[in-house]
Each structure stands twice: as structure tokens, then as C-alpha cells.
Structure 1
């Protein structure tokens, strides 16, 4: 059995994302799990602490996953993921943020292609990494008194992926029942209401997921029809465009909810394929 261990930096400041993530993970652990979206959040099997020269470090041990969506996309021609993978990932993420908001009172606020990991069907790639380490052990580089080991990552590949994705990294998570007006979210995924310095809430999550796939912000006179060229004209494209228009709405109060988007007719078209 393999495990992925994350060792956090030592940070006990009042605004520490480390302490916030540990607090959030403990909060999520006590939430109901009947919602199907609960399986999409990547939660640790164990949370513990180790001692270091600068103090204690929080650690998590989780089931290892495949590469993130950013690296996975680069393995396909022109950086385009197959539609069936896009739909599967969108449904996973919509279900997950719905569960986080309804049952955990949380919004993630940092949904990016680096924080979405692919699930793999078996441990084959981890076995290969172990064998490679046994044959040619890693040589540490000393940083002062600290040995640093280079990660032995297998190149990103679509091999063995299941189509399921997992939402990772809860260091920026907040309460979903509150309203905010501060500067937040990663630059490329920042919702319009934050840019305009108006109150924002749970609605920023669906915006992030939309930008995850389009990677462009629609502005006046910008045509989604002209931008979306991978889908030929017809019912499929019409439904996809309707789906994206419900997400990429500048007024957060008018934006579709995760529940609406989970049951939208565009992802339903692919249900038998995912």
C-alpha cells in the first residue's frame, strides 16, 4: 500500500494557510458523507505532526493520485482534453463544491488546474517509481544542514486514469454561509465580483470551474460561438454554450448554482460514457 505524505512548512501565524488547512480538514472529517460529491474531496487518512529544527510541522498522509489537470492536458494534442474527460471532471467538481457548501459550510476558493488531481485505477505507476528508486537511489542535495531530495515523478500520462478527479488543497477554504469583500482567489481564476470589489460568496466556485476549461474571460463583443471550435455546430455545441453562459456571468447573483449545472442537459448527454 502506498501513501502520499505532505509535510507543511512551519507557520503558526494568525493568517497561516497551513493552520487553516488543518482546521478545515478536521472540520470536513466530521461532515456527513452521503452526498456523492463527498468522494471527490481529497481527504487525508491521517493528520499528524513531526518535530523539525524550526518547530513542529503538520503532515497529512493520503491515498496517492495521478497527475493534475494542468499536466494531463499537456499530454494530449494541442493541449485539448477529450470531451468525455472534461465532462467527467466538471460533474465531479460541481458535485464536490455542492457537498462542501451544503454539508460542510465551506467554499474552496482556489479551484485551479493544479489543485485537481486525476484518480488512477491501480498502483502500477507507483510500483515503477519504487523500482526506479531501488535501482538508482536518489542522491540528496544539501541545503545548509538539510538534505533535499528531488521528486521522482513519472511523466504525466493518461494511462490508468479513471475519469474521476479529486479536489485538493484546502488552505484557502472559507465558510460558505458568509459574504466577503476582500481580495481573494488566484489571479487567472478570480471572479468578477472580486475584481469589482463588491461582496462575493459561494458563487465564485462555479466561475472558477468555468474558467478552468475556457481559460478566457468573456467581455463585451466577445463571441463564445467563435471561440469554441472543437465542437461542430449542432445540439451538442448549443448545449455546451448554454452551459458556459450560465457559468460565465459577471453578476454572481445571476450565476447558475452547482446543483443547476450538475443536472444541466449538456453533461447529461455524456452520462452513459462517464
Structure 2
């Protein structure tokens, strides 16, 4: 069958793209693991379940690769999941298997996961103005705290990368996967083949399900609590906790900050709480984000200023957290909920145990506007 040759697709347009770094996987290919056989667009022959297979790229020093850290954190979390019976793993994307395969130019690490649905970012595209229904947000966030609490209290790790992109919705109906499998068997996808003969397939988009069950994923930036020192620059720009921004020692409260920023106004209002990017030069501006933090939270505590090696004060007009919830008891409860998560001082930020019984999260549905 002749392969299509068109414009670059998927990862090909990336500046860092080099054919030799990628494994030339093909649809229908079978991978042998220690626990069974995996086949593209087929089921795991041992467990008879659909499995998502991530094949890593080759780059740089293996000891410093994000994939190396991810594998370490996945193995660490799997050990605790097997040892203790907790609800957290039910809302966390753990590895079913980790193995290596031989590529044309070396070894590639592979990670097998249970197949899940679309991310919350993708789910937002279903709703007008990217605003998720309030009851759906409550369901997602309440369960997400089980995962985060387990990572913190049991695994003693900080995720550092919680965002709508890294929270998936649980796939409750696998019929769409079966449909794709049948379609591929009758009408196989034609890959784009590069000059070296490596195939690249277009992604097949899965439908976004309205599941209220979140699955926290992506362990590539996860850190053991003891390694969260002030010299580590981490967390996505829009979700970076103040203590990380100020190059102070951080810990579990950093994840709680990310969740607070994600809930309001992103999921609830469909907009970003902070915008630290210089649009002209397209770069992150530290003084700008400091000014925005001060505008929402007021000046940071004096002790944080004294400890930070980077802090320069930028004053701005103080504002309250914006929300479309009308004035009344529910709005007051909601603002108290957000203020527990979005604080300058990480020690004052609510933990997962403290936030679970929050009045707004536990509010009866019929009492909401």
C-alpha cells in the first residue's frame, strides 16, 4: 500500500523533532512484555482490557530525562498502591506495566496505562465559554482531592504539574475504542512516512465524556517532598505557587495552590486567573506575575519577602476573587473555599484533609443557584 506524503503532522513540526529519537511504531504491531502481549488497537491479551501504550523518545542523558523521573515516581506510587488499601489510586493514573523495547537506534522505555477519557481542558470545549457546570466541577474536585491526598500523605510526593491538561475524565464506556478498532481493521490509517521511512500517524480524537470521575496523570515533574528546595524551578507558568515563584522551599501546599487556580476562575468561569506572559515578546515576566499575585492577595507576609532571594514588590489595586455566583450564603462559602487554597503563605493553605469537609464542597445540590 502506498503511503501518503503530505505536510508535517503531529510531532514533526517541533524544533526538537528528530526521526532517530522516535520509535517507528505501526498500527497492528505487537509488543511483548513481562506480563503479556500488547497490540496497537487491540486488547491486552492477558487482561482482555484496552491499554494505552506510551513509547518514550531518546534524548540526552538518561539520568536527567523527565521519563526517568516519571518511571521512578510511577514505581514508587505503585509500591504504595499495592501495600496500602486507599481510595487515592482509584483517581490516579498508575502504570500497568513498564518495559523496554529495541528501536533502530537504541532502547525505548514503554509505559502501559489503563485507557482513560479526554482531559478537563478538552471537556471544556463542550461547554459555552469553556465553563463547566458547577456540580460537575464539585464532583471532579472532590474526588481529585482523594488522589492528591494519597500522593501527599502516603507516597510523600508533590505532583507540581496539576492543571486541566493533566486531569483526565474516567472512560466509563469503551464502545468508542471498539469502534476505532473495527474501523482500523476495515479501513487502515495511512501514515505519513518521512525521508527515513519512519511512519507518523494522525491522532484519533476520542469523544469527550461528561464523567465526574477525575484521573490525575503525568508524573514527569513529580518530586519527593524532601527534594522540594528553593533552587528548583517547576510548575506550569499559570499555576505556579508563590513559594516556588519566590524560590523558597515548597511542599504539598504547592499542589493545593494549583487546584485553587484551576477551579476558579478556569473551570468555573472559563478564563485564566493570572496572565504572566508578555504578548509582544511571548515570554514569561516574573515582575508581572508578582504584581498580579499582589493584586489578588495583597502584599505577601514580611517573612516571605525576607527569605526570598528574588522578591521585588509591585503594588497593584487589591481585588477580590471574581465569580458569577450571585451574592448570598453560597458565594460567601465559595469565596472562603478559594481563599483556603489561594494564600501567599503555604503553611496557611488548606490540606486535602482540611478541604474535604468544606461547606461549599458539601453543600446540597438543591441549595445551589
Pairwise same-fold verdict (TM > 0.5): yes
- Count of residues paired in the alignment: 267
Query: SS where residue 48 of structure 1 aligns?
Result: strand
The whole-number CA distance in structure 2 between the counterparts of 1:204 and 1:270 is 29
Tell me which residue corresponds to 1:5. 53
Q: How does 1:7-46 map to 2 (within 5 A)?
A: 7-11=55-59, 12-31=61-80, 32-46=83-97
Q: How does 1:1-274 map to 2 (within 5 A)?
A: 1-11=49-59, 12-31=61-80, 32-143=83-194, 144-154=196-206, 156-158=207-209, 161-181=210-230, 182-214=232-264, 215-217=272-274, 218-220=296-298, 221-224=318-321, 227-229=322-324, 231-270=325-364
The whole-number CA distance in structure 2 between the counterparts of 1:132 and 1:270 is 44
Structure 1, unpaired ranges of 5+: none
Please say if residues 94 and 206 of structure 1, whose CA atoms lie closer than 8 Å, have aligned partners that are also in contact.
no
Query: SS where residue 154 of structure 2 aligns?
Result: helix
The 1:178/1:270 distance shift into structure 2, 3 A limit, reads farther
Q: Deviations over 1:151-187 (max 9, x none)?
A: 1113x433xx431010111011111244411211111
The 1:179/1:148 distance shift into structure 2, 3 A limit, reads closer
The whole-number CA distance in structure 2 between the counterparts of 1:33 and 1:164 is 21
Q: Deviations over 1:214-273 (max 9, x none)?
A: 23143441221xx201x222222211110001111011121111211122111111589x
Deviates more, 1:241-250 or 1:87-96: 87-96
TM-score by length of 2: 0.68
Structure 2, unpaired ranges of 5+: 1-48, 265-271, 275-295, 299-317
The whole-number CA distance in structure 2 between the counterparts of 1:103 and 1:202 is 12
Q: CA deviation at 1:53?
A: 2.1
TM-score by length of 1: 0.91
Higher relative contact order (CA 8 A, sep 6+): 1
